[in-house]
């Protein structure tokens, strides 16, 4: 299976699935605005179809009392799938954020976790070089944390993709012949960029990073990271966002500073999704900064991570 099979699958699904087709067409006229913070662009998207995701309840009781919509037996009747390596299925996301939006669940109902599937993530990245793949940890954006899944959209739709090694707020903390690790130096936005031209090298630096997160997060790091990965200039590039909170305080506020946002990969990548119009209206550069600083790992902890990481070498 390759990219053209995937694009054909997308077309076929829109032909046979009326609601999905309607939602993809509606997305073309979605309200969107741009906010600039420290010279970086962020998009704010008003998308009422995403309310199930922004307000998803992910406590144990809520999960147990609902059906899992990623299990094959519970799919919409119009929903087809394309299989990938007898392990994952590509599904069309009927409530899209982006013009081509796939959910890629594991064939089995297993918990959301990245490490056992990290090499699958790398395979997806290299097998579909036009696409960008995402993993949301169970406590930072996954609406269905009980069923392992990735998501995919086309490349170059997220503002973060324009941030690379040359950026003035990026510094290198590791460079070997073919492997590089960079970190963001903006105090409100902790993230890393991993680059390598080969799978083994990428796995090596990922493991080194993860070891440190595991210590800092007392083990449950897999629930508290977002990953965005793609293939570019014949290299793997992965953005990792270590998180401290699932949602900002504005999410729980009843005042007129309420902002209903549950940041996952797409938001951390610079496109904030608001399912209600008031939140969309209120969003501005101060809220972007406030939200990022609350849900990101935080400057002190991130610096501790960098110091500990460097001690390994």
Binding site for Zn ion (CB under 5 A): 68, 70-71, 109, 147
Task: Write down the least CB distance from residue 151 to Zn ion, Å.
Answer: 15
Task: Write down the least CB distance from residue 142 to Zn ion, Å.
Answer: 12
Contacts of 95 (CB under 8 A, 6+ apart): 23, 49, 50, 52, 53
**Does residue 268 contact residue 160 with C-beta atoms inside 8 Å?**
yes
Q: Which is nearer to Zn ion, 136 or 196 (CB)?
A: 136
3-state DSSP assignment of residue 50: helix
Q: Which is nearer to Zn ion, 40 or 90 (CB)?
A: 90
CB-based closest residue to Zn ion: 68
Helix (H), strand (E) at residue 175: strand 170-175
Contacts of 4 (CB under 8 A, 6+ apart): none
Q: Which is nearer to Zn ion, 32 or 111 (CB)?
A: 111
Task: Write down the least CB distance from residue 273 to Zn ion, Å.
Answer: 23
Contacts of 149 (CB under 8 A, 6+ apart): 70, 103, 104, 105, 106, 112, 142
Q: Which is nearer to Zn ion, 101 or 147 (CB)?
A: 147
Q: Which is nearer to Zn ion, 147 or 289 (CB)?
A: 147
**Does residue 153 contact residue 100 with C-beta atoms inside 8 Å?**
yes
Tokens of 15: 């032909």
Task: Write down the least CB distance from residue 111 to Zn ion, Å.
Answer: 10
Task: Write down the least CB distance from residue 223 to Zn ion, Å.
Answer: 17
């Amino acid at each position: 299976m390759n990219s053209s099979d995937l694009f054909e699958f997308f077309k076929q699904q829109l032909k046979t699935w009326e609601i999905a087709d309607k939602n993809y067409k509606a997305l073309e006229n979605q309200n969107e605005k741009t906010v600039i913070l420290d010279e970086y662009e962020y998009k704010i998207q008003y998308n009422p179809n995403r309310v199930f995701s922004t307000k998803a309840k992910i406590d144990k009781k809520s999960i147990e009392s609902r059906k899992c919509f990623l299990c094959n037996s519970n799919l919409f009747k119009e929903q087809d799938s394309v299989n990938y390596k007898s392990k994952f299925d590509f599904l069309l996301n009927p409530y899209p954020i982006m013009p081509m939006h796939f959910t890629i669940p594991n064939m089995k109902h297993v918990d959301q976790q990245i490490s056992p599937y990290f090499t699958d993530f790398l395979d997806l990245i290299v097998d579909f070089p036009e696409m960008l793949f995402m993993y949301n940890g169970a406590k930072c954006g996954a609406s269905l944390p009980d069923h392992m899944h990735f998501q995919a959209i086309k490349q170059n739709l997220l503002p973060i993709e324009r941030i690379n090694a040359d950026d003035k707020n990026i510094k290198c903390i590791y460079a070997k012949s073919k492997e590089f690790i960079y970190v963001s130096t903006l105090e409100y936005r902790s993230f890393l960029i991993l680059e390598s031209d080969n799978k083994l090298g990428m796995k090596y630096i990922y493991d080194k990073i993860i070891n440190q997160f595991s210590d800092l997060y007392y083990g449950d790091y897999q629930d508290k990271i977002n990953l965005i990965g793609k293939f570019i200039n014949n290299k793997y590039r992965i953005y990792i966002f270590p998180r401290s909170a699932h949602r900002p305080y504005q999410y729980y506020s009843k005042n007129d500073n309420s902002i209903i946002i549950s940041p996952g990969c797409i938001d951390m990548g610079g496109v904030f999704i608001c399912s209600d119009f008031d939140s969309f209206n209120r969003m501005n550069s101060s809220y972007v900064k406030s939200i990022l600083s609350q849900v990101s790992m935080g400057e002190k902890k991130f610096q501790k991570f960098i110091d500990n990481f460097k001690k390994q070498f």
